[in-house]
Amino acid sequence: MEPAREAEEEEIDVIWDENGTARYRILKDMRIVDFDGHNIAWLDEQGDVIDYEGRHRAFYENGVMRDPEGLVIGLGKDPAGPHPVLPSKGLIPDAVKPTVAPKKPKPKKIVKKPEGSLLWSKKMLEEL
C-alpha cells in the first residue's frame, strides 16, 4: 500500500471518535474511508451514510456523524449544532491511498433523520 499524496486535498473532513482518535476521512467524491484506505460507506446529497451493500448506516451533517438514533459516532474538524464536547482531538495519521471505490448500490431504505443528541453512540460506523 502506498501513502496517499496530498491527503488533505482529497478530503473534505476527518471524523474523530469520542476518545479523540481520527477514524474516518470523508473524501471529495463523498466516500467515507478509513486511514488504511478501506471504503466504508458513501454520502448521498442529503447526508445519509450508506454502505456498499445499500444499507443506511448513519447521518452526516455540519461536521457531526450520527447513528440512526441520533447519537454521535464522531465529530469532524468544525462540528456545528448539538454535539458532545470532545476535549482533545488526536493527530491525524498518515493515510493510505484509498482503494478503488466500489459501485454505489441503490439505497435499500433510508431512515428518517432523528433529533441530534448530545450523547455518544456506543457503536462505530462499521458496527451499525
Domain boundaries, the chain: 7-117
User: What does the pLDDT look like over 93-119, one tens digit per residue?
Assistant: 999 999 998 999 888 887 889 999 999
Locus of grid cell 491511498: 97
Residue 111, φ and ψ in degrees, nearest 5: -85, 145
C-alpha cell at 59: 447521518
Using left for φ > 0, alpha for ψ between -120 and 50, and beta otherwise, residue 70 falls in: left
At 7, the pLDDT band (50, 70, 90 cuts) reads: low
User: What does the pLDDT look like over 70-86, one tens digit per residue?
Assistant: 999 999 999 999 999 99
User: What does the pLDDT look like over 24-52, one tens digit per residue?
Assistant: 999 999 999 999 999 999 999 999 999 99
pLDDT for position 111: 83
At 64, the pLDDT band (50, 70, 90 cuts) reads: very high
Q: What is the pTM of this model?
A: 0.89
Rounded CA Rg of the chain: 14
pLDDT for position 83: 94
| DSSP single-letter state for residue 27 | E
| DSSP single-letter state for residue 103 | P
At 9, the pLDDT band (50, 70, 90 cuts) reads: low
pLDDT for position 4: 47
